Amino acid sequence: MSRLPAFLLVLLLWVSQVDVAVAALRLTSDTVSHSLAAGVVVYEDKAGSMSLADVQQRSAEFRRASRHGGESVNFGYSSSAWWLRVDLAADAHARRDWLLEVGFPTLDSIEFFGPGGERLSAGDRRPFTNRPILHRNFVFPVRLPESGTGTVWLRIASEGTLTVPLRLWQPDTFWQESMFGYTVLSVYFGMLLALALYNLLLWVSLREPVYLSYVLFAVGMAVGQVSMNGLGNQFLWPDWPGWGNHAFAVGFAAAGLFGALFVRSFLATQRNQPRLDGAIVGLAGLFAVCMLTPLVAPYRLAAILTSLTGVTFSVVAVLAGLRGWRAGQPGARTFLLAWTVLLLGAAVFGLRNMDLLPTTFLSFYALQMGSALEMLLLSFALADRINGLRREKDAAQGEALAAKQELVAALKRSEAGLERRVGERTAELEALNARLRENERQLQALAHTDTLTGLANRLLLGARLEQSIQLARRSQGQIALLLVDVDRFKAINDTYGHAIGDEVLRFAAQRLRAAVRAVDTVARLGGDEFAIVLSGLSGAADAERMAEKIVTGVREPMRVLGMPLEISVSVGVATYSGGELSPAELMRRADQAMYAAKSAGRDCFRVFSA
């Protein structure tokens, strides 16, 4: 019985030796490149304090690397330092000079120990020019001995995901493949830039938030991708390793934030899917936290939080797209296909980061391939959305025209067959016409009125301003344009919420309207900015007195939904007393004066002076 424990101990030692007994990878004269993952054994240095000599003494404790069948060694998110060992043997006619590529540019620290005793260092925390070979990935020269086996040791540590794709290359083949890889990435980022610029021009032209959120989403995606592929460290920020270390997580967190805003705007989830809208808003806030986390917390926390949030958001966004498609929203079908492609890629990429999927070519480049297809499909989705809205408008106009034609036909039939009811029908027709005129008047009022405050909107303001300038030019009179901006309105909105913010804007509108004359025009330009056109002035002093009256009147305390609040405004004054001054130039002058008031400390007015 005493021999059994000894036998089990010997058996366990033999099993452990079998687990680490990995044959040296043999290189022949025909070998141009070779994946090293199958020949790697690893050792975990949990304290991160061991030297090469220390780990060489523990060779019996090395074990095979976990690869899930892929071509990369993946340790997921780990705070340990990992030692990798691979034995290489070359045939007599094989090359002796090779290049070892570690194809994951976001690793923080790599220590390379070559067969001839070489020691080299690299990592994205070091300046790019310190790398032994200037390449977007980490590349080390390997010189094998003329005979026997050469051993390569690597010490790798990183706060992000520890994925280690290892491949040995002949130098000529490596540079040929690298040129191809750079070309493919150039095409990808060129396409990304072209789509972003195209949608930026659309936003400048149409001023629809959905295009701006798309552009910012593409920019965030580009920052994350350019960091993940190593191009940022090589070309954009080679001397800023601190930013280069955080750009990966910050870029993808920004892409998630603006991607959530894009989904919310494109599908109008606040109106059509209020429950999912709350989830999207929450995830957008979480992405914003992920962007700021590297500034106050360990990078690993930001990376893990970004990956988990991305996987969750992929499910929510696809579900929102599916519901939008079922509801018949314009562009929702193409949107669903585009977003599904991207978010499947993001989900695969995030699961690979957490070592839940094997690292293969597909899983490693899933996000990049998905984003390329997604950008193209989303452009079609935006176009489909515009066409869908146009079709709905045309259909509504067609229905209105058909209804009008049916009404005329009914009136003709009534006139021909029911002469005795002419008077009654005429009265009905007059009533109908009156309603139509009233509806037309209401529609016209809505087209020229700001829905929140009841003031004139930007369209009506432009017409009134042009009319006032022409009248002043003919009569040699004087007018003034006042631009009024509510000071620190964003802080009120952020602190008390949009409901309080809207009430503040209504109170401000009431006080502006009460401060001016009936002949003057008060308009809301948008957000917290208002404009006032003063006509029939006797001089610039009248405009200044009015501006002072407005500043003083708005300053009075108010109660908004039972809550006491005090606000102030900054007013810019620009006058016109003749000449060829255009409305746009007058608006620009008033805007310049308003910013001068803000620069002077707010709660005041300034008059434009050339």
Q: Would you call 528 a catalytic residue per the annotation?
A: yes
Radius of gyration of the chain (CA): 35
Q: Mutual orientation of helices 274-296 and 299-326 as an angle, nearest 10°?
A: 160
Q: Which residue has the tokens 């032209």?
A: 205
Nearest of 168, 29, 173, 171 to residue 92 by alpha carbon? 29
Q: Tell me the two tokens of residue 578.
A: 């003749």
Contact status, residue 39 vs residue 151, Cβ threshold 8 Å: no
Q: What is the DSSP code (8-state) at residue 573? A: E
| Unique residue bearing structure tokens 């997921």 | 76
The active-site residue, picked from 450, 487, 528, 591, is 528
Are 340 and 321 a contacting pair, CB within 8 Å? yes
Q: What is the 3-state secondary structure (H, E, C) of 207-235?
A: CCHHHHHHHHHHHHHHHHHHHHCCHHHHH
Q: Tell me the torsion sign for CA atoms 198, 203, 205, 206.
A: positive
3-class SS of residue 22: coil
Q: What is the DSSP string of 278-305?
A: HHHHHHHHHHHHHHHHHHHS-HHHHHHH
- List phi, psi (to 5°) of 357: -130, 150
Are the C-beta atoms of residues 148 and 89 closer than 8 Å to each other? yes
Residue in 569, 573, 575 with CA at minimum distance from that of residue 601: 569
Distances, alpha carbon 115 to alpha carbons 32, 51, 138, in Å: 19, 16, 18
Instruction: Enumerate the active-site residues.
Output: 528
